[in-house]
Amino acid sequence: MKVIVLTTRTGHHLYYLHKLSLNKKLKIFSIFEKKKIKFPFKTRHIMDIIRDKHECLVLKKNNIKFSTFKKEVINNINSKGCINLIKKINPKIIIAYGVGKIKDDFLKNFRNKIFNLHGGDPESYRGLDSFLWAIYHRDFKNFYITLHKVNKELDTGDIIYKKKVILNKEINIYNLRIFSAKTCVFITKKIIDKLSSSKKINSHSQNVKKGKYYSAMPSVLKDICIKNFNSYIKKKYG
């Protein structure tokens, strides 16, 4: 089965691709988006630097390299070049994982093939850095990975799978992305298994009240996230 993953070149995304590629029945095509969103405020924090170093160590330990994947690097996934490339590959399914907003022209061509992995509960947190915003609000009950259909409006599509990320004492704010990527692999395998056996993919609409949209978290708020996360883990797991 041909599977296209629209993603970015980050540690946890490479980890996800590696785990998917272990299934030799799948032909994984990776399309990495280079275009980055610019914000009118600072988002980079020492937490991000430590997290990125941790993810690099995980990749090194598992011998995961950017060069090992079939890939195309595209500036903008909504470009005609990207759309034509996907038409040429003709995948059974397209998974969006951590890329920018999918626009109308893309949806017109692939609406019934494309699904989005959202690192959070879109019925509560839409947009960017959903886990961090949940941590900021001390809302640890809303740690979910969601696979949903893609609509014109960000993170509002019908939900196919929603699985809670169960925290434990081994998890910290720096390895949270890698840990959540494992859940993304689990959910992706579920939908691929259904497609392989030609089973119906059930879904349900989101709540009437949409989740609040969040932009990237400003760096000035990330110290609060570290404090809230450490406090929660210590209180719950000792």
Structural domains of the chain, with CATH = 2-237 (3.40.50.12230)
Structure confidence at residue 108 (pLDDT): 96
Q: Is 115 helix (H, G, I), strand (E, B) or coil?
A: strand
Give the model's pLDDT for residue 209: 73
pLDDT of residue 49: 97
State residue 66's pLDDT score. 84
Strand runs (DSSP E) across the chain, as ranges? 2-7, 27-33, 71-74, 93-96, 114-118, 125-127, 144-149, 159-164, 212-214
The Cα 238–Cα 232 span in angstroms is: 9
Nearest to 125 by CA among 214, 209, 206: 214
d(CA 194, CA 37): 34
Other Cβ atoms less than 10 A from the Cβ of 113: the count is 16
Residue 68's pLDDT is what?
A: 79
The pLDDT, as a whole number, for residue 50 is 97
pLDDT tens, position by position, for the chain (238 residues)? 999 999 999 999 999 999 999 999 999 999 999 998 999 999 999 999 999 999 999 999 999 988 877 889 999 999 999 999 999 999 999 999 999 999 999 999 998 899 999 999 999 999 999 999 999 999 999 999 999 999 999 999 999 999 999 999 999 999 999 999 999 999 999 999 999 998 889 999 998 778 999 999 999 999 999 999 999 999 998 7
Distance separating alpha carbons of residues 232 and 186, to the nearest angstrom: 26
- Tell which residue, 123, 133, 119, has the closest CA to residue 7: 119
Measured torsion, CA atoms of residues 115, 95, 179, 175, in degrees rounded to the nearest 10: -110
Instruction: Supply the pLDDT for residue 207.
Output: 81
CA distance 54 to 121: 25
